[in-house]
Amino acid sequence: MKNMSDIIEAYLKQVLSQDEQIEIKRNEIADQFKCVPSQINYVINTRFTIEKGYLVESKRGGGGYIRIAKVKLLDDVEIIDALIDLIGTSISYNDAYSLISRLYEDEIISKREGTLMLAAIDKQTLAIEEPRACILRACILKSLFKNLKYEE
Amino acid sequence: MKNMSDIIEAYLKQVLSQDEQIEIKRNEIADQFKCVPSQINYVINTRFTIEKGYLVESKRGGGGYIRIAKVKLLDDVEIIDALIDLIGTSISYNDAYSLISRLYEDEIISKREGTLMLAAIDKQTLAIEEPRACILRACILKSLFKNLKYEE
DNA sequence: ATTTTTTTGACTAATACTGACTATTATTAT
DNA sequence: ATAATAATAGTCAGTATTAGTCAAAAAAAT
């Protein structure tokens, strides 16, 4: 007998194998598996991450839900992962520019997407002093790059 | 779509898809959906905001009404400028989400561009506490939107 | 023995629903 | 004309219904 998180994971994936996306009620699943509701969050946070190819959205309040969708990982995942490693925890605008250029040259992003990325991380936009701007820039850039890995 | 507010929203939008603007009687809609009249206000205040592209007018007293109109802007630049104005100096993630959705619905940006924009401004990405995150988010979003106005 | 993963629950946050009270406008009575 | 009444819509705060967070305890793996 595996642990409960694995069982819930398997159950959700089994349902997902039939539909492209599923909508669950956190409390219902928790009841079904006799666990506390927050364990559903644990399962989702550890097993249905974007890195593993899932997109999760939710809404609270009456009629609330958690929606899990399977996304298609693209071919360029390895290149992107390599670039994410290069970003590290801090990166200058110029180095970021190089990485974005690289994505454009490899035809992973369009010119317009590249321009948008640059707009998001330039010095004037971030409007803070240097050591912290580089850290923030790295966070934003990594988030942008991660999102390039999947489709839909 | 399980909760009443979503159902009422969908109904109103369906009627709006046929006419440019609609005029409803609050009590009639409340009767129709078996809810209290103030729920109609709730739906309007949460779903038919100016950020989402709607204009609402009303009149009380005999012959009173609530009029909902889909705002129509002329060209892309105008829409973008209007949205930049709405950003102001500080904006929550949810409000930003509405604005980006708006650009997508108006076919000014692709889905992937929208996803990238969201990735650049989400809470986890910015990784700072709330008052300052909203300010930073506004800076980034304005920079992104401004870039949409120029094509190469 | 130590580290990692899982489980738990108290607390927090977001969204939806309700009803009593208020505000405005139109109509009717004086 | 003015005042009273009827017919609307608005506000706000309280309750209900969800989901999220976080850190401690427990269990499992190393």
Q: Look at residue A75 and tell me whether its pLDDT is greater than 90.
A: no
Sketch the domain layout of chain B as residue ranges: 4-70, 76-147
Residue A1: predicted pLDDT: 60
User: What ranges in chain B are assigned the alpha helix state H?
Assistant: 4-18, 26-32, 37-47, 76-87, 93-105, 111-121, 123-126, 130-147
Decide: B46 and B5 in contact? Cβ < 8 Å: yes
Evaluate if the CB of A61 falls below 7 Å from strand D: yes
User: E strands, A1-152, where?
Assistant: 21-24, 54-59, 65-70, 72-73, 150-151
- Which two three-digit tokens encode residue B144? 């992104």
Tell me the CA distances in angstroms from B90 to A46, A120, B32, B49, B123, one per residue in order. Answer: 32, 16, 39, 18, 14
Best mutation target among A27, A93, A143 (most B Cβ atoms within 10 Å) is A143
CB distance B84 to B60 below 8 Å: no
Q: Residue A37, CB, less than 7 Å from strand D?
A: yes
Residues in chain B within 8 Å Cβ distance of A115: 147, 152
**Residues 30-69, chain A, CB closer than 7 Å to nucleic strand C:** 35-36, 38-39, 42, 46, 59-64
Q: Which of A111, A120, A127 minimises the CB distance to B120?
A: A120
Does the structure show a pLDDT above 70 at A34?
yes
Both ends of chain B: CA-CA distance in Å?
42
How many whole angstroms separate alpha carbon A96 and alpha carbon B45?
Answer: 41
How would you classify residue B67: left for phi > 0, otherwise alpha for psi between -120 and 50, otherwise beta?
Answer: beta
Q: Return the structure tokens found at B41.
A: 């206000």
Of B6, B113, B148, the CB nearest to A63: B6
Mean pLDDT of chain B: 91
Q: Does domain A73-151 have CATH number 3.20.20.70?
A: no
Average of per-residue pLDDT across A68-89: 88
What does the angle CA A93 – CA A119 – CA A115 come to, to the nearest 5 degrees? 100
pLDDT at B17 over 70: yes
Q: What is the predicted pLDDT for the residue at B151?
A: 65
Nearest chain A residue to B121 by CA distance is: A140
Q: Give me the percent of chain A exceeding a pLDDT of 70.
A: 99
Note whether B22 and B16 are within 8 A (CB): yes
In chain B, what percentage of residues exceed pLDDT 70?
97
Q: Do domains A4-70 and A73-151 have the same CATH topology?
A: no
- In CATH terms, the superfamily for domain A4-70 is Transcriptional regulator CtsR, winged HTH domain (3.30.56.130)
Q: Whose CA is closest to A29, among A17, A14, A19?
A: A14
Chain B residues close to A69, C-beta within 8 Å: none
Band of pLDDT at residue B152, cut at 50, 70 and 90: low
Contact yes or no for B116 and A117 at CB 8 A:
yes
Structural contact between residues B50 and B89, judged by C-beta atoms closer than 8 angstroms: no
Top residue of B43, B97, B118, B144 to mutate, by most chain A CBs within 10 Å, is B144
Class of domain B76-147: mainly alpha
CB contact under 8 A, B113 and A115: no
